[in-house]
Copies of this chain bind each other. A is one copy, B any other.
Amino acid sequence: MTGQVRTVDGRVAGRRGQATRQKLLDCLSEMLSSSPYRDVKVIDVARKAGTSPATFYQYFPDVEGAVLEIADEMAKEGASLAQLVAGRSWAGKAGWATAEEFVDGFLDFWRHHDAILRVVDLGAAEGDKRFHRLRMKILNSVTTPLTEAVEELRAKGRVDKDVNPAAIAGSLVVMLAAVASHQKGFTTLGVKQAELRPNLALLVHLGITGRKPTR
């Protein structure tokens, strides 16, 4: 099946091979957190992993290929984000709680993986289809249920007919992603962490329901 981990030259990787491969991925992940993407060199990753550049090229075509691998694992993990929104109520106090928990959960996930998500974002913005697909996969696990929530409210006539649920949901999600990536920008504006979250929850609630929350 697809589960077979293979080297660049087509061999099947055994236990030891998979271990070094994973170690290379871990070290790359770490390097992405500590130095600019542009400056991440294969030789540094290899050194950090206690091996040689040649070994790196045995498992990955280049740095980008390895990054895609890391991002793919993260995307799988990100599927659980759907639980933050799916099947939740957006009415009354429960609605406010939904908004708050959604914002919290999403920000935590994004900040936890900020280094790799930065690179994915860049790749997607630069037009690379593979990165774009990955980014959509992650965002969709949240955007899709969020869109459904808006559609439901619209069907009940609680939201205007001329709103596009997907546009609203998508915009709110990228807002959260961008805020998480640039949290430093808000401290510069004099906005503290603790203040930011409820305000984001407010915006999300307003966007989804069109109304102010009852707290």
Interface residues of A (CB under 8 A from B): 36-38, 63-64, 114, 118, 121-128, 132, 135-136, 139-140, 143, 147, 160, 162-164, 166-168, 170-172, 174-175, 177-179, 181-182, 184-186, 188-191, 195-196, 198-200, 202-203, 206-207, 210, 212
A191 to B210, CA, bound (A): 20
Contacts of A136 in B (CB 8 A): 185, 188-189
Contacts of A126 in B (CB 8 A): 36-37, 118
Q: Which of A38, A143, A181, A195 has the most C-beta atoms of chain B within 10 angstroms of its own C-beta?
A: A38
Q: Is the CB of B203 within 8 A of A172?
A: yes
A123 to B118, CA, bound (A): 10
Contacts of A168 in B (CB 8 A): 199, 202-203
